[in-house]
Amino acid sequence: MKVLVVGSGGREHSMIMKLAKSEQVDQLYAAPGNGGIEEHATCVYIQDTDIDSLIRFVKETEIDLTIVGPEKPLLLGITDRFNAEGLAIFAPTEDGAMLEGSKSFAKDFMKKYRIPTAAYETFTNAEEAKAYIEAKGAPIVVKADGLAAGKGVIVAKTKQEAIQAIDDMLVEKVFADAGSTIVVEECLVGDEFSLMAFVHENNVYPMVPARDHKRAFDDDKGPNTGGMGAYAPVSDITEETITYCTEEILQKAVDGLVQEGRSFTGILYAGLMMTSDGPKVIEFNARFGDPETQVVLPLLKNDLVQVITDVMNGQNPQLEWENQMCAGVVLASTGYPGSYEKGVPLPNIPLAENSFMVHAGTKQKDGQLISSGGRVLLVGAKDDSLEGATNLVYRSLSSMDGTGAFFYRKDIGTTIETSKL
């Protein structure tokens, strides 16, 4: 088979590393890819949002299967366009991806189908939103309705912080159209975890649960990021809880999507909080999570191409998992998630045994790998215990060339983000 992966981040590199092991894959392509992906696949310099060029490339190259990584192409209707051209693609339609594309849609959808989530209200008027804040108090969460590059969620500890977030989104338009509608919801308290599943219509095949660390600095301090590290599986999440989440959250969601004519094929991601009242949904994504994918896929025993083919054909892929733990730590550009320098040569990181490296914000220039994003690399490892896996990761990172251009958290896997605060 010829397989194309659309995207350029760590999630896509992790997918490509897994796909490269498949005996069914003869040629592997990425659009646009990154510096690390070039080691495993042919990078085609087409942006992931340039759907016309992607379709043209797929036809000319006779690609057998396209897999979409990031969210933007989904909400631009890449799957609808591919389907219209008779091209095989593993990704949800624009209608299905609205579970991620609009937080207000997702919240209304969860209410309709009785999927457990935080209490909320939706606003387009700043004064009405502020009145709601005054009535409810803090802590409280303010979310931009649309995609905001992972920056559209403000967990406000005080009413003043919440009111500032409302002004930023509805008055100052810092997220443009993505913040023209906002969702204000109760602040859930508990232990976060993520559960992803392969989905086709009413069929749901859950993966092992993962937990990521979103705060930039040690001890869960600093601003929220796209994720500074992750591990899987999650020992404090029981099989009973996974079954509950599969039946009462993921299955209800896909059944609701089918009922509404939004039939879903692809990856459904549930960001969850284990509260005192049981698991509740923080958010849905319509694709593999990042950095969760980087620690989940290395544990999958199956051939990923065969899994996707089975799922698309309505067959149970019979998922099998390594009886190990996998941990990953992100190396980020100093200043991230704020402003940071690009074009910095990557440090040399000698990898410990059973370890691996996933590229995110990197590119090749004049034969050298340089940084091109906030999250630059993820160093991961597998071991029989979480402590063993994280020790291997930190052994690799501690051996890297000294540079002040990058930083990483030193406590991934040793803490649990116990609330949204």
Tens of pLDDT, residue by residue over 290-302, are 999 999 999 999 9
What number is the average pLDDT over the span 78-86? 98
Q: How far is CA 352 from the centre of its chain?
A: 26
Helix (H) or strand (E) holding 273: strand 265-275
**pTM value?**
0.93
Amino acid at 257: L
**pLDDT-wise least confident of 82-96, 198-212, 400-414:** 400-414
Q: Which two tokens stand for residue 408?
A: 């990483």
What number is the average pLDDT over the span 254-264? 94
CA gap 391, 393 in Å, rounded: 5
Are residue 208 and residue 301 in the same domain, yes or no?
Answer: yes
- Look at residue 105 and tell me if it is in a domain: no
Are residue 246 and residue 332 in the same domain, yes or no?
Answer: no
What number is the average pLDDT over the span 217-238? 93
Are residue 255 and residue 161 in the same domain, yes or no?
Answer: no
- For residue 310, CA distances in Å to 17, 28, 93, 366 come to 20, 19, 19, 42
- Spell out the residues 6+ positions from residue 398 whose beta carbon is closer than 8 angstroms to its own: none
Average pLDDT score, the chain:
94
- Does residue 199 contact residue 181 with C-beta atoms inside 8 Å? no
Number of domains in the chain: 4
- Of 274, 290, 312, the residue that ends a domain is 312
Residue 134 neighbours by CB distance under 10 Å: 11
- Look at residue 412 and tell me if it is in a domain: no
- For residue 89, CA distances in Å to 74, 312, 330 come to 11, 9, 29
Q: Residue 375's pLDDT band (boundaries 50, 70, 90)?
A: very high
- Look at residue 20 and tell me if it is in a domain: yes
- Look at residue 185 and tell me if it is in a domain: no
pLDDT in tens, 337-348: 999 999 999 999
Q: Which residues pair with 419 in a beta bridge?
A: 189
Q: Which residue has the higher pLDDT, 177 or 244?
A: 244
The residue range of the domain holding 387 is 325-407
Are residue 199 and residue 290 in the same domain, yes or no?
Answer: yes
- Look at residue 131 and tell me if it is in a domain: yes
Q: Is the pLDDT of residue 419 over 50?
A: no
Are residue 18 and residue 74 in the same domain, yes or no?
Answer: yes
- Look at residue 415 and tell me if it is in a domain: no
- Look at residue 348 and tell me if it is in a domain: yes
Are residue 335 and residue 401 in the same domain, yes or no?
Answer: yes
What number is the average pLDDT over the span 312-326? 97
What number is the average pLDDT over the span 395-406? 88
